[in-house]
Chain A
Amino acid sequence: MLRYIARRLILTIPMLLGISLVLFLIYNLVQIDPLVMIVGERAMDNPEVVAAAVKKWGLDRPIWEQYLTYVVNMARGDFGASFLTRRPVMDDLRLFLPATVELALSSLAFATVLGIPLGILAGVKYRSLFDRGVWFISLLNASLPPFWTGLIFLTIFYFYLGIMPGPGRLDPRMSDPERVTGLYTVDSLLAGDVQAFGSTLHHLVLPTLILGGFTLALVVRVTRAAIIEEMRRDYIRTARGKGLSERRVIVRHALRNVMMPLVTILGLAFAGLLSGAVMTETVFDWPGLGQYLVKAAVNFDYPAIQGGTLLIAIVYVLVNLVVDVMYGLLDPRVRYD
């Protein structure tokens, strides 16, 4: 098992190299002069400033040397510095990732806790009114764009009803909790600030509903379909024949087999939540990875794009690995060799 994990991790190295090479080639094909962005339009007239920037950012080196330097630095965990923020990309990612992780975890929890029971009930009561209702709501969830639902939710629950807070991670009149993990829920508790903790939770509700809504629809549909299929199997008939209660049949027997496809979906959904929350982050002024990467892309901030892309690739690799390991735990028939 450990050998399997180690081998999988080693295999990611050529993959990351490949991704970085493709990104590097695209960057050099597009022929955009990053200098304008680094020093700004006006300072371009000052040769001294331009020369200092060229030297500092290594833009006078041949292309292959720039790439080699990049790969060597990357191996040391140094992704270079963002043209746009002038800070190390690693620091930027560390800064913006926690907000995204906090929202992704909260959305995943929401989708799982609500989605699995709903999916089971809908599957068991296949074709009932309840099933159709759940199906309709999850279809709605999956097809409405989050920037639209986000604005509508804010308008109703914040602006008109006033029962939910506005955008942001914390009440504007409160100061941010001292940064330890970057997760405001954890940091506010560590700081012993109950007010900030409450405000953080409150601020998480609407973006979680929006972002988690899509995942919820996915979880419901997968659970429902799997339950429908499992309930027709022979072992279910056997279990019923033994005289087990219907509840026991579902929880002890059917649910175990439903876990396999669910784990796959949840793993991918979590990776997706980390990389695809751009719209929700924008509507809710959520200072996360999505907003950071969009700004990097618009401004052609190559080191930031590369660092962010590699980070997301690593997340996918790790999530897939976790999912594969979980298969083994859930199903004794799976062997790693």
Chain B
Amino acid sequence: MKRHFAILLAVLIALLSVGGALAQDGALIIATELDDVITLDPGRAFETTNLTINHATYDTLVEIRADDLNTLVPSLAESWTVSDDGLVYTFTLRSGVTFASGNPLTAEDVRFSWTRLKNLKGNPSFYADTVASVEAVDDLTVRVTLSAPTPAFLTIVTAPAMSVLDSVLAKANGATDAADADTTDTANDWLSQNSAGSGPFVLTGWTPLGEITLVRNDNYWRGAAALPAVTLRHSDDATTKLQLLERGDIDVYENVDKDLAAQIQGNADLQLSIGQTLNITYLAISGDAKFNLPLSDARVRQAIAQAVDYDGIINGLLSGYADRPAAMLPLGVAGSDPAKRYERNVDAAKALLAEAGYADGFEMPIYIGQGAPGGIPSETLAAKLQADLAEIGVTVTIDQRPTSDFLTAYRAQELSFLFATWTPDYLDPTMWSDYFSYPDSGPAARILLNSQAIADAAAQAAAEADPAKRLEIYTAYQDAHVAEAVFVPLFQPQQLYALRNNVQGFAFHPVYFMDFYMMSKS
């Protein structure tokens, strides 16, 4: 009996030590949260992680690089022209580009990909809303006709959803661009486990809540990447991710818990990289009369905007890892002017309240969901705002609901006072001004914003093709937002990355976060 046990133990130990030997040693391993992934099909995916994966496995016609967010750089398209009326874009494709499959890139692939995106009627289809038709003029010429002038179109083209698929390979696996693609396209499963792109990496698998694996595309048209493979591993717990990184079992820890930043900076083997996101966490204060609150007086909303302790939120609740954006245009986007925002001034706020006839303050609810939009748990941020507003005599009661319930009520225009976070899908200022301006769309509709000044400025800016004039209009746009004080930006969170010292070439991108092609490991 004892001998059997000893043999068993020996076999176990032998097996376990074999388990220590490793396969792919050069692969870059990243710990992150993969629970948002639903599909990796660029025509269907509209979450967060898919942006990184789609960018690594596909190319777009034009791109915006992390080092200069205001400049469009040619990618699959070598050059392009825009007709005088702003309606027709003609792209000339780079010649000699092949997909990872070996198939050559042609104008037909672009036509197929964009038409399919539109006809899938999926969550990201709105990227192609403005596209009326796409034609393949010849092998390397694509002509796109828009339904209305859209100066932001080239920026929209840089979005991962506008990626170019290898139409031959995609069709062989069930993809179609037919008008009824939303019911007849069957490529979702295949495109979630494989990729059909020309990008520097090829998708080799996805296990939900497990991992996503990529291997290098050796025939990449810009030259093969330095990394042979990339693995993204799901991990929920911040402490565990840091332990994995410190022990060297992973190379990158994405979206570091801000409480752990100091610990990473204190470790000589690790580097902390700070990414400037273009997200805005904002306060929404409805001025609509239906709520029967003093908030319908602009002076009361302005008083609230001046009562918030912005620096206290950033330093106390985000360990300083956030910026203060302008009124509804984040720093880093063309036209954003950090002077166009409120500063804390309790005395001025009290004076405004008194002027509006509420010297003794009033009581109102703040509606919040669960989770931590922008990186602060909702209840913590609500409590901070409650304390700040108490200083000017406004008593805030916290009404917390399940997130889906909260969102449903926000959409149904039932909430008068709340905070939320806006994340961009592409980098044009219209990504904000289209949604925070008009009484019939986006958060502006939900909070019942009705300001002619804001709507006019947003419409003018969206139609203006001259960049200098556009900047001018956006200045007026931000002034109008400050005066209205319906949307009050609280902070623009930063995203932290912890990397082992032997990882080079990381530069944060606000849309797709990581560019594995630029990274290497020594």
Contact = CB atoms under 8 A, between A and B. Distances in A.
Interface of A: 30, 32-34, 36-37, 39-46, 48-49, 52, 56, 84-86, 92, 95-96, 151, 154-155, 158-159, 162, 165-169, 171-176, 194-202, 282-283, 285, 287, 291-292, 295, 298-300
A169 B211 CA distance: 11
Contact of B247 (A86, A158, A176): A158
A201 B19 contact: yes
A43 B18 contact: no
Contact of B123 (A39, A176, A292, A300): A39
Interface in B146-198: 182
Given A46-B125, A202-B16, A295 B404 contact: no
Contacts of B121: 48-49, 52
A203 B17 CA distance: 12
Contacts of A283: 237, 240
Contact of A173 (B18, B22, B205): B22
B12 interface: yes
Interface SS majority for chain A:
helix
B181 to A, nearest CB: 11
Interface residues of B, number: 59
Given A43-B46, A86-B39, A172 B402 contact: no
Contact of A175 (B213, B240, B441, B442): B213
Contacts of B475: none
B442 A298 contact: no
A92 B403 CA distance: 23
A44 B126 CA distance: 10
A166 B250 CA distance: 10
Given A174-B22, A194-B15, A195-B18, A85 B243 contact: no
Contacts of B98: none
A176 B207 contact: yes
Contact of B15 (A45, A95, A197): A197
Nearest to A297: B402
Interface of B: 12, 15-25, 27, 29, 35, 38-39, 46, 121-126, 129, 182, 205, 207-211, 213, 231, 233-237, 239-240, 243-244, 246-247, 249-250, 370, 402-405, 407-408, 411, 425, 441-442, 445
A40 B36 CA distance: 12
Contacts of A162: 247
A39 B240 CA distance: 32
Given A158-B247, A285-B235, A287-B210, A198 B126 contact: no
A285 B33 CA distance: 10
B182 A52 contact: yes
Given A36-B404, A42-B123, 8 more contacts: A33-B404, A45-B441, A155-B239, A173-B22, A175-B23, A196-B19, A201-B15, A283-B240
Given A36-B404, A282-B237, A176 B210 contact: yes
A275 B253 CA distance: 30
Contacts of B407: 36, 41
A295 B35 contact: yes
A173 B29 contact: yes
B19 A195 contact: yes
B38 A287 contact: no
